Amino acid sequence: MTEQPVIDAPAPGRRDPEGRKRAIIAAAAELIIEGGTASLTHRRVAARAGVSLGSTTQYFASLDELRESALEQLVAETDAALDLLAEITSADDFTVADLAPFVRSWLVDPRQVQADLILVSAGASDPTRRALARRWFDRAVAILSERLPPDRARAVAIYVDGAMIHAGLHDEPLDLDVIVGDLEALAHPARPRSTEPAPQHQNGPRS
Amino acid sequence: MTEQPVIDAPAPGRRDPEGRKRAIIAAAAELIIEGGTASLTHRRVAARAGVSLGSTTQYFASLDELRESALEQLVAETDAALDLLAEITSADDFTVADLAPFVRSWLVDPRQVQADLILVSAGASDPTRRALARRWFDRAVAILSERLPPDRARAVAIYVDGAMIHAGLHDEPLDLDVIVGDLEALAHPARPRSTEPAPQHQNGPRS
DNA sequence: CCCCTTTCTGTACGTTTGTACATCAATTGA
DNA sequence: TCAATTGATGTACAAACGTACAGAAAGGGG
């Protein structure tokens, strides 16, 4: 009942330092996604990874170091997703609308969303981990900047981060059309930069 | 050295159930902002609030219940900020650009930013607290929808959430001009809804 | 085959946790 | 003034924690 599926681990007792370490990090990353960085304990990791308690202390000087490795693993996963983004933007006939399906595939993946929010939370509350959390944002801006003005690239990245929050709090994902429309609006603004009064909708003044 | 400033508390021993409960919740909210929801312990709350350990268990059936009360307190604070938003949007000569200073004042307040990110994180990982975390977003959309089409209101709220993440991870806040520009772009898109190929910048194809 | 090195395992210990509860102090109504 | 009551306090305890470490077991070289 309280048993959780074992992640990966080599057979018990069998020697396999690298495999074991990998299994421990994978289990830790999983637990962090499920319960946040603070929910990590040596014993839970051991149970999930299918290794002994001692093994979880052998490869890492402290629990904090294990946590750090697990977070780096999560960053590596999102890095892989960004490689796909780079592929998309490098297409000859690329348009901003092409980003939408990619963004949406990200938003509908609870694991990805959770990982991102946890990294943000970790980075915001602990300056030590800020660089880790910022990697997604910085790389995304860098990639998008090859096709958009840097400030437009940043605006798009900010919007996507906001959409990540939306995804984390809502069951209904954003429609693809909506994402396309918003990304295009940010990437190709009507008046590229002004503060003059703008025409606006008027949905009826409050009573 | 390890002493932390006391929050509010009534004099030790003096009877004041409501004041004491208030001080406990305030201390808990403070600790949550500083170290996340998981860092909350009865003893830390007692020290910060300047009350005895027993008092922290007296008014709440469990630590989880205390945590819940503290989170509700944080939501109440952001609710107050949203009242200000409602004032702004109700002005006769309101334009979207008027939102920017308000948004920015939010972003440069570390406490507000941290509170929001913590609520999001709590809501994303625990369905029980999702409604709590969603209150900011839902109310913001509702308020903005009096002046913008609902889907534009939502886009703006998503962007602001993204800007909150940006603020949590960067020391340099977003320029007011940038915020104005992005909000206007989202509120008044060039082509209100289309997926046809758009003219685009070309910052030089990758080598 | 056996031995030596490296890896793995489980137990143990001191700390900190949430929570229960007995004791004490403050307030109130007579 | 003086019980009686309600609120506040500190101690106690089982459970879970991070970590250290001694011993068992596996794999490879002789």
pLDDT-based confidence at residue A5 (cuts at 50, 70, 90): low
How far does the CA of A59 sit from the C1' of C8, in Å?
12
The reply to whether A6 touches chain B by the CB within 8 Å rule is no
The CA distance from A125 to A117, in Å, is 12
CATH 1.10.10 residue ranges in chain B? 17-58
The CA distance from B206 to A205, in Å, is 49
ipTM of model = 0.91
Burial B66-88 (b: 16+ CB within 10 A, else e): bbbbbbbbbbeebeebeeebeee
Q: Does domain B71-187 have CATH number 1.10.287.70?
A: no
CB B156 within 8 A of CB B144: yes
Average pLDDT over residues B133-162: 98
Q: Residue A122: is its pLDDT beyond 80?
A: yes
Average pLDDT over residues B133-148: 97
The reply to whether B131 touches chain A by the CB within 8 Å rule is no
From 1.10.10, 3.40.50, 1.25.40, 2.60.40, which CATH number describes the B17-58 domain? 1.10.10
| Phi, psi angle pair for B6, to nearest 5° | -75, 145
- Strand D–CB A41 distance below 7 A: yes
- Average of per-residue pLDDT values in chain A: 91
The reply to whether B145 touches chain A by the CB within 8 Å rule is yes
Chain D footprint bases within 7 A of protein beta carbons:
6-12, 16-22, 25-27
- Give A 57-86 residues with CB within 8 A of chain B: none
Closest nucleotide relative to residue A9's CA, C1' based? C8
- Strand D–CB A53 distance below 7 A: yes
Average pLDDT over residues B100-121: 98
- Strand D–CB A54 distance below 7 A: yes
DSSP string over chain B: -------S-PPTT---HHHHHHHHHHHHHHHHHHH-GGG--HHHHHHHHT--HHHHHHSSSSHHHHHHHHHHHHHHHHHHHHHHHHHHHTSTT--GGGHHHHHHHHHT-HHHHHHHHHHHHHHHH-GGGHHHHHHHHHHHHHHHTTTS-HHHHHHHHHHHHHHHHHHHH-SSPPPHHHHHHHHHHHHS-SSSS--S-----------
- Strand D–CB B10 distance below 7 A: yes
The reply to whether A186 touches chain B by the CB within 8 Å rule is yes
What pLDDT sits at residue B203? 52
Q: Residue A200: is its pLDDT beyond 80?
A: no
Min Cα separation B65/chain A (Å) = 18
pLDDT-based confidence at residue A204 (cuts at 50, 70, 90): very low
Task: Suggest the residue from A125, A139, A141, A172 to mutate for an interface test with chain B (most B CBs closer than 10 A).
Answer: A125
Min Cα separation A166/chain B (Å) = 7
Q: Which CATH architecture has domain A72-187?
A: Orthogonal Bundle (1.10)
What are the pLDDT digits (tens) for A18-55? 999 999 999 999 999 999 999 999 999 999 999 999 99
Q: Residue B155: is its pLDDT beyond 70?
A: yes
Size of interface A-B (CB pairs under 8 A): 222
How far does the CA of A20 sit from the C1' of D23, in Å?
21
What are the pLDDT digits (tens) for B160-190? 999 999 999 999 999 999 999 999 999 999 8
The reply to whether A107 touches chain B by the CB within 8 Å rule is no
Closest nucleotide relative to residue A52's CA, C1' based? C9
